[in-house]
């Protein structure tokens, strides 16, 4: 199928954005492992020209660890490193931190940018919503020109002619994919900044960065109030492969303890069944299964605005999504990757809301638990079905026991 060009429009903080994008022919990706399988998008977008500058809505408060991130990247560049990974916990503001990095005079000097000219950043990601979020984050910054680029699409001739000063790779743990490597071949000696919360991959593949800048850990971010403290509810799961029945029982018993909640399941059938259960209970719920990107963004906006109580998700929002107002996540499936469960829990880790995790744990099969990721908990409850009393029990237990 030939490439198709079309106009892509969206609204950022009330300002319309319009640019011409190219949808390439079907791309065959033959190196996708379980680590990356959920992240291949249905449609790939590639900017053929740099987007216009959009007025900024409101400044954000710069945090100490973000200042340290800037200093760390500056030092790495001065020391001669060309591939630098910036590691920050999910929810700690990686994209905003990258913007602070690119505003640095030292970084501009190391990239050879003349005084008074904007730093041209080729911002690469594997998901279109990450590119949209990046454009939104950089809006109004006249010191930086951001060029959004899908890693599944070729860099356009227009962008190649104008060039760029530095590359930023979002969710850089995917850099090990051959799809990324094929794109990186054209970058030459251009410095690369990778952003990730999880630099270690469970499949053993290595991401190739010569310097790692990690100004704060997840534990320290929680202790300092930058991320929410977590309460974990561990549900003893003896249900087998299909989680519909146990999730139905748990929701019937405990949904009233939950706020705005994301439920993660493994199959479309489970998503539809659990969504029907929640609707029958009177909750405003929706199943995310095969909606378009635009529809997903609209649903998430309604969720953040308090118009939706529950979203039952099957493989539509695992990473790279800023979900405001999420107080609870229900892990209604098994996770074969530490990265995936970390990203999933991170959806409720914003400091302005509680972070309550409800997880199904099969003592014989569960590979990773929430406590493995969160490490330091505010509280933990054990949830189990008491067969003698024929009722569900939820009780606190000693975290240090």
In sequence order, which residues have a C-beta less than 8 Å from that of residue 287 and are 6 or more positions away? 268, 271, 272, 274, 275, 311, 312, 314
Q: Are 192 and 102 in contact (CB under 8 A)?
A: no
Tokens of 256: 């009233």
Q: Which residues lie closer than 8 Å to 274 by C-beta, 6 or more apart?
A: 244, 247, 248, 251, 263, 265, 287, 312, 332
Q: Name, in order, each residue with C-beta under 8 angstroms of 217's C-beta and a sequence gap of 6 or more.
A: 89
- Tokens encoding 319: 């990473």
C-beta of residue 170 within 8 angstroms of C-beta of residue 195:
yes
Give me the pLDDT at residue 364, please: 76
Per-residue pLDDT at 30: 36
From CA 157, how far away is CA 162, in angstroms rounded?
9
Distance between CA atoms of 249 and 109, rounded to whole angstroms? 60
d(C-alpha 294, C-alpha 157), whole Å: 27
Domains of the chain: 4-219 (3.40.50.300), 228-396 (3.40.50.300)
Q: Do residues 116 and 152 make contact, with C-beta atoms less than 8 angstroms apart?
A: no
- 51 alpha carbon, distance to own chain's centre: 23
* Per-residue tens of pLDDT for the chain, all 401 residues: 443 333 333 333 333 333 333 333 333 333 444 444 444 433 333 333 333 333 333 457 789 999 999 999 999 999 999 999 999 988 788 899 999 999 999 999 999 999 889 999 999 887 777 888 888 889 888 999 999 988 878 888 899 899 999 999 988 866 555 666 666 666 667 899 999 887 765 544 545 788 999 999 988 988 888 887 788 999 999 888 899 999 999 999 999 999 999 999 999 999 999 999 999 999 999 999 999 888 988 998 899 899 999 999 998 876 556 677 888 999 998 877 777 777 777 665 666 667 899 999 887 777 777 777 776 677 889 999 998 988 999 998 765 55
């Amino acid at each position: 199928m030939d490439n198709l060009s079309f106009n892509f429009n969206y609204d950022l903080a009330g300002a319309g954005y319009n640019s011409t994008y190219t949808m390439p022919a079907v791309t065959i990706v033959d190196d996708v492992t379980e680590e990356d399988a959920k992240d291949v998008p249905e449609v790939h977008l590639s900017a053929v020209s740099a987007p216009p500058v959009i007025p900024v809505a409101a400044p954000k408060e710069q945090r100490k660890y973000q200042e340290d991130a800037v200093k760390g990247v500056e030092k790495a560049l001065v020391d001669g490193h060309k591939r630098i990974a910036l590691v920050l916990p999910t929810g700690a503001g990686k994209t905003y931190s990258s913007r602070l990095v690119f505003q640095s005079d030292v970084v501009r000097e190391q990239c050879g940018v003349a005084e008074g000219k904007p730093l041209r950043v080729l911002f690469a990601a594997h998901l279109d919503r990450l590119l949209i979020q990046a454009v939104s984050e950089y809006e109004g910054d006249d010191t930086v020109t951001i060029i959004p680029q899908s890693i599944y699409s070729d860099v356009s001739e227009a962008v190649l002619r104008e060039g760029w000063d530095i590359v930023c790779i979002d969710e850089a743990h995917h850099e090990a994919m051959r799809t990324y490597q094929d794109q990186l071949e054209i970058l030459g000696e251009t410095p690369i900044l990778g952003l990730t919360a999880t630099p270690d991959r469970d499949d053993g593949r290595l991401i190739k960065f010569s310097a790692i800048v990690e100004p704060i850990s997840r534990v320290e971010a929680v202790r300092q109030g930058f991320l929410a403290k977590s309460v974990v509810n561990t549900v003893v799961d003896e249900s087998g492969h299909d989680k519909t029945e146990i999730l139905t029982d748990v929701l019937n018993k405990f949904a009233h303890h939950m706020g705005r909640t994301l439920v993660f399941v493994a199959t479309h059938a489970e998503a539809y069944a659990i969504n029907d259960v929640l609707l029958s209970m009177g909750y405003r719920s929706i199943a995310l299964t095969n909606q378009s990107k635009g529809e997903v963004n609209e649903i998430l906006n309604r969720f953040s605005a308090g118009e939706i109580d529950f979203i039952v998700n099957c493989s539509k929002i695992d990473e790279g999504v800023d979900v405001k107002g999420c107080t609870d996540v229900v892990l209604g499936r098994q996770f074969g990757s530490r990265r995936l469960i970390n990203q999933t829990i991170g959806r409720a880790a914003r400091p302005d809301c509680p972070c309550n995790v409800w997880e199904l744990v099969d003592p014989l099969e569960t590979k990773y638990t929430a406590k493995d990721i969160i490490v330091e908990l505010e509280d933990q409850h054990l949830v189990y079905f008491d067969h003698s009393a024929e009722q569900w029990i939820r009780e606190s237990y000693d975290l240090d026991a």
